[in-house]
Amino acid sequence: MSNKNIGIKDVARAAGVSVTTVSHVLNDVSYARVSPETKEKVRAVAEELGYGPNRLAQALRTQRTGMLGLLSEDIATTPHAGRIILGADEAAKRRGYNLMILNTSASASLESRTADVEALLERRVDGVLYATMYHRNVELPANLDSVPSVLVDSVSTSGNVCAVIPDEEGGARTAVAALLDAGHSRIGFLNNTDDVPATRLRLQGFRKTLDEAGLDGGSAPVESAPSEVHGGYEAALRMLGRSDRPTALFCYNDRMAMGAYRAAAELGLAIPKELSIVGFDDQQLIAANLHPGLTTVALPHYEMGAWATEQLIDAIEGKNELSRLALSPTILDCPLVVRDSIAAPGA
């Protein structure tokens, strides 16, 4: 139980040694030569007095705060940000670092985001993580380059900043392959209308996977709508109204899949017997609670947060060079989460 009022010199006095000795034993410095008895004594006294180091003073002296800044967009809006934070927090804690989290908005001006970075710099964080709430390209505050930093779930528009993003195309391939494996050949894609990397990459994964299976990906049915429950519902209605109705749907995300569930219900199509569905995101609240449970592809938010933190700390400690990793973004796997929304066609 650290007592604010007890300092290293109180311990020194009580133990009858100098502050150097106390500092040495409490920090376990390798080069220090202190007798075992003295060590013991110092530790005991420190414990007894309830001594706790003043990290501010340590930091001022060593030029290391052991703090990482995390600039995160819209912590509140999405559970995804939470997973990134958790991954980062646990990785940081493991290595003896702590996180200073600043919330910003996806729509915040470059100026206000620059001010946020400035706040982090004034606190002398050892490095910063910049996280966005969905995979996209960001214009980074210029002052970010004065400290080691890594991007999570986004890529810098001005390039050459270490970044980690999900394997959107691979995830789409995994999803479509699951449908193919179940025996489907008429597969539709409910895509997003936003101009974000995932829109293009998931479509590409969808097409290529069909092509490679000998199906014509280029002519496979695609309906686009805003990536919300409502959009999914409408796109699904259009898709399922086609003359050669698909037997399976790959949905851009779980929210759209939720809309597709409703469309299927209205059309009297049973899932998965008459219609198989696979989503993307593994948004717990939806995927696990829909009925039947939605088979989907998980975004590696936790892993991205953890990976970014590890790299950042390695860089801070001189164990690697961020610039080497900055040449192209690191891409993390999107694994399939199997539930109950896929079955053989006409099963």
Partner DNA sequence: ATGAAAGCGCTAACAT
Partner DNA sequence: ATGTTAGCGCTTTCAT
Which residues in this chain contact its own copies in the complex, by CB under 8 A? 1-4, 52-57, 59-60, 65, 67, 75-79, 81-83, 85-86, 89-90, 98-103, 114, 118-119, 121-124, 142-143, 146, 228-230, 233, 255, 258, 262, 265, 283, 285-286, 289, 291, 302
Q: Are strands 296-297 and 336-337 parallel, antiparallel or unpaired?
A: antiparallel
DSSP code at position 81: H
* Spatial contact of 97 and 67, defined as CB atoms under 8 Å apart: yes
- Residue 28 interacts with DNA (CB under 7 A): yes or no: no
State how far the alpha carbon of 134 is from the alpha carbons of 84, 164, 303, 318, 347, in Å. Answer: 11, 12, 14, 30, 36
CB of 20 to DNA, least distance (A): 3
- Residue 8 interacts with DNA (CB under 7 A): yes or no: yes
24 binds, among DNA, its own copies, none (CB under 5 to 8 A by kind): DNA
Please choose, from the candidates 166, 146, 144, 145, the residue with its C-alpha nearest in 3D space to the C-alpha of residue 71: 144
18 binds, among DNA, its own copies, none (CB under 5 to 8 A by kind): DNA
User: How many other CB atoms are found less than 10 A from the CB of residue 37?
Assistant: 8
35 binds, among its own copies, DNA, none (CB under 5 to 8 A by kind): DNA
State the Cα–Cα distance between residues 86 and 91, nearest whole angstrom: 8
Q: Which of 3, 29, 123, 317 binds DNA (CB under 7 A)?
A: 29
32 binds, among its own copies, DNA, none (CB under 5 to 8 A by kind): DNA
- Residue 247 interacts with DNA (CB under 7 A): yes or no: no
112 binds, among its own copies, DNA, none (CB under 5 to 8 A by kind): none
Structure tokens at 258: 């939720």
Residues 6+ apart with CB under 8 A from 29: 23
Residues 6+ apart with CB under 8 A from 115: none
CB of 210 to DNA, least distance (A): 59
User: Which positions touch DNA (CB under 7 A)?
Assistant: 5, 7-9, 16-21, 23-24, 26-27, 29, 32-35, 37-38, 53-54, 57-58, 60-63
